A and B are shown apart, each in its own frame.
Chain A
Amino acid sequence: MQGYNFAYLDEQTKRMIRRAVLKAVAIPGHQVPFASREMPLPYGWGTGGIQLTAALIGPDDVLKVIDQGADDTTNAVSIRSFFARVAGVRTTTRTTEASLIQTRHRIPETPLRADQIIIYQVPMPDPLYRLEPSRPVARRLHAMVDYGAMHVKLYEDITRFGRVAVSYDHPVMVNQRYLMSPSPIPAFDNPKLHRSPALQLFGAGREKRIYAVPPFTSVVSLDFEDHEFNPQRAPQTCALCGSTTSYLDEMVIDDQGGRMFACSDTDFCEQQRQAQHDHAA
């Protein structure tokens, strides 16, 4: 696009972001501060993810953008069209075709490969912020591996509600060292973080932090021996493809209490239906 560099950001900024990424990969789960830039989309829309994508994308990349698992949600459409406009790259909705996947709040159902990078948009990078709002103090807690407060919080949930009341953004231990926010993905997706062959990058633009989970790194959701990590999924079946294992969206279809459930991962749902169609034919 005229007047702007390839993929919007100038090359110096890209280099600065790549350096932060390298450091993040070298210290899995550690939040690396970076000089986050103003982007032409507002903070909270995924500026961290967009900056990562802009710093990593090349002319040969194929980009997939999802929001809530879907390619057709407004924000995903907007970010995808942004990169199509400023980088002129090929975009796709197929998980298997993408080399870069930018996501908000989901990990695709289709397992990722070693030649793929997944970029998470992160609102609050520090998993401790609700327990310790001061960033300098939280940083010290990370340095000392002082995560007792988080265990106490989960324990208090169990005593009050009989279960851990964290349904998304469930904190994880990365490489047995750093407590990390997986971004607000449903706890259902947490197991996909563990030993994933793909490089996983996390960008928080407003909070100016980048962190990473390198391929094949251990990622363990926080739990207790007698209260094991137990993520929830709507017990229904997808009304479109019949999946009983994928994560489902609940849609309200009337004001009489009518509900419909369908895969949140629209590409996965599409592929399932295609396979059934091919099988029938």
Chain B
Amino acid sequence: MAYVAVKGGEVAIGAAHAWLARVRRGDPSLPQIDAVQIEAQLGRAVDRVMAEGALYDRHLAALAILQAQGDLIEAAFLLRAYRTTLPRLIDTEPVDTGAMRLHRRISAIFKDLPGGQRLGPTTDYTHRLLDFERPEPEPVITTIARTASPAPRATDLLGAEALLEPDPSGTGEPADLTMAALGFPAGRDLRLQTLARGDEGFLLALGYSTQRGYGNTHPFVGELRVGEVAVAITPPELGFAIEIGDITLTECQMVNQFAGSKAVPPQFTRGYGLCFGHADRRAIAMALVDRSMRAEDLGEDVKAPAQNAEFVLSHCDNVEATGFVEHLKLPHHVDFQSALETIRAMRRDAEASDARL
């Protein structure tokens, strides 16, 4: 019998890519989707890919989604692989989310507060009934006069009464996850950076686990806000800050119950979530996990997965995770061959010792 060695990999790959291109294009009698349409009409997918791809560029994210056939992890991967090639020219000034031009701002802990509650473009109170009428009728444009009343952060209002732990003020340069390997123990700056680009599903599941008793943090959404903030840089030759554009962010300030001890009076503690685009789920989950990972610092028992910073941070990156999980489909026959030989040898030894008995 002829033994056919698996060769001709180059031809196989070429054929696979050609097939992939055909599948991606789909039925050629239908019009092609354009990245511009994805950017305009699949905004939440774009937001997620920008967050996990760790690059704020709506158009490139849309392009990646199109190229990845809507596989959002693959799209984030494409974006990351591009991002890593970009030169780092300058660091921006910290963005001021307090000065955000708000699209949405809700507080679950006060019925009303200065600046008011604003729902914004949310699905929160939609009824999930499939709308069979496609294409949907053009939405009626209603313009509501925007009141520009200042909306101080709900947590600042609470902080004024000292019922909430103070926000730790940043000292010195924050660490940079993209410029050095993640090490442990990881400071909060590194933790938040890692969570900000972590897998939404992973953060969601871990945050959820804390709500179901695996490391409870008694959370309240102090405030969730979505809107645009200005990004500014200070070129060294100018010496003053100039704005270079706006980005949309979602910020969640979680207020968590009691962490009192003999030395510290009972007070609320904080969890923080911040991410690109409009992404309530990601920001809330991130804030839950952030607070959960502070368990050790706050003198709480560390028992649940979400409280274990090393566990969370080492496994939340979906580009890393999907790579390692999926690499199992690569050829491993050399290793497997050695395993085969070992197991055969072990069986021989066992049989030989049985025969001796």
User: Would you list which residues of chain B between 138 and 174 have a CB under 8 Å from chain A?
Assistant: 150, 152, 154, 156-157, 160-161
- Interface SS of chain B: helix, strand, loop or mixed? loop
- Interface SS of chain A: helix, strand, loop or mixed? loop
User: Would you list which residues of chain B between 202 and 218 have a CB under 8 Å from chain A?
Assistant: 211-214, 216
Q: How many B residues face the partner with a CB closer than 8 A?
A: 27
Q: How many A residues face the partner with a CB closer than 8 A?
A: 32
Contact of B125 among A74, A123, A253 (CB under 8 A): A74
Q: Is A75 within 8 A of B112, CB to CB?
A: no
User: Would you list which residues of chain A between 235 and 281 have a CB under 8 Å from chain B?
Assistant: 249-255, 257, 264
Q: Is A77 within 8 A of B260, CB to CB?
A: no
Contact of A252 among B157, B214, B257 (CB under 8 A): B157
Q: Is B111 within 8 A of A249, CB to CB?
A: yes
Is A68 at the interface (CB under 8 A from chain B)? yes
CB distance from A191 to the nearest CB of B (A): 23
Contact of B127 among A40, A129, A249 (CB under 8 A): A40
Q: Is B216 within 8 A of A130, CB to CB?
A: yes
CB distance from A43 to the nearest CB of B (A): 10
Contact of B110 among A40, A252, A255 (CB under 8 A): A252
The 0/1 profile, CB within 8 Å of A marked 1, for residues 254-265 of chain B is 000110100000
User: Would you list which residues of chain B between 101 and 117 have a CB under 8 Å from chain A?
Assistant: 110-114
CB distance from A39 to the nearest CB of B (A): 8
Is B134 at the interface (CB under 8 A from chain A)? no
Q: Is A74 within 8 A of B114, CB to CB?
A: no
**Chain B: which residue is nearest A1 at the CB level?**
B129
Complex CA gap A257/B158 in Å reads 9
Is B266 at the interface (CB under 8 A from chain A)? yes
CB distance from B92 to the nearest CB of A (A): 27
Q: Is A41 within 8 A of B213, CB to CB?
A: no
Q: Is A78 within 8 A of B111, CB to CB?
A: no
Q: Is B111 within 8 A of A255, CB to CB?
A: no
Q: A133-B212, A160-B260 are in contact. Are A251 and B111 (CB under 8 A)?
A: yes
**Chain B: which residue is nearest A128 at the CB level?**
B213
Which chain A residues lie closer than 8 Å to B257 at the CB level?
165
Q: Is A255 within 8 A of B129, CB to CB?
A: no
CB distance from A66 to the nearest CB of B (A): 13
Is A161 at the interface (CB under 8 A from chain B)? yes
Is A19 at the interface (CB under 8 A from chain B)? no
User: Would you list which residues of chain A between 57 and 71 have a CB under 8 Å from chain B?
Assistant: 68, 70
Is B128 at the interface (CB under 8 A from chain A)? yes
Q: Is A251 within 8 A of B110, CB to CB?
A: yes
Q: Is A74 within 8 A of B119, CB to CB?
A: yes
Is B326 at the interface (CB under 8 A from chain A)? no
Q: Is B119 within 8 A of A165, CB to CB?
A: no
Is A118 at the interface (CB under 8 A from chain B)? no
Which chain B residues lie closer than 8 Å to A188 at the CB level?
none
**Chain B: which residue is nearest A262 at the CB level?**
B111
Complex CA gap A251/B115 in Å reads 12
Complex CA gap A39/B126 in Å reads 12
The 0/1 profile, CB within 8 Å of A marked 1, for residues 28-39 of chain B is 000000000000
Is B124 at the interface (CB under 8 A from chain A)? yes
Q: Is A85 within 8 A of B127, CB to CB?
A: yes
Is A34 at the interface (CB under 8 A from chain B)? no
Contact of A41 among B112, B114, B128, B160 (CB under 8 A): B128
**Chain B: which residue is nearest A257 at the CB level?**
B160
CB distance from A204 to the nearest CB of B (A): 12
Complex CA gap A124/B213 in Å reads 9
Is A42 at the interface (CB under 8 A from chain B)? yes
CB distance from B78 to the nearest CB of A (A): 30
**Chain B: which residue is nearest A75 at the CB level?**
B125
CB distance from B10 to the nearest CB of A (A): 48
**Chain B: which residue is nearest A162 at the CB level?**
B266
Is A82 at the interface (CB under 8 A from chain B)? yes
Complex CA gap A2/B154 in Å reads 43
Complex CA gap A241/B53 in Å reads 53
Q: Is B113 within 8 A of A78, CB to CB?
A: no
Q: Is A130 within 8 A of B110, CB to CB?
A: no
Q: Is B213 within 8 A of A130, CB to CB?
A: yes
Q: Is B160 within 8 A of A251, CB to CB?
A: no
12 chain-A/chain-B pairs, Cβ below 8 angstroms = A42-B128, A75-B125, A78-B127, A123-B211, A133-B212, A161-B258, A251-B110, A251-B111, A252-B113, A252-B114, A253-B112, A255-B156
Which B positions have Cβ atoms within 8 angstroms of A? 110-114, 119, 124-125, 127-129, 150, 152, 154, 156-157, 160-161, 211-214, 216, 257-258, 260, 266
Which A positions have Cβ atoms within 8 angstroms of B? 39-42, 68, 70, 73-75, 77-78, 82, 85, 123-124, 129-133, 160-161, 165, 249-255, 257, 264
Question: 20 other contacts beyond A42-B128, A133-B214, with CB at 8 A cut-off?
Answer: A39-B128, A40-B127, A70-B111, A73-B111, A75-B125, A124-B211, A130-B216, A160-B260, A161-B258, A161-B266, A165-B266, A249-B110, A249-B111, A251-B111, A252-B114, A252-B154, A252-B157, A253-B112, A254-B114, A255-B157
Please provide the 6 A-B residue pairs with the shortest distance between their CB atoms, ordered closest to farther: A133-B213, A40-B128, A129-B213, A78-B125, A252-B113, A251-B112
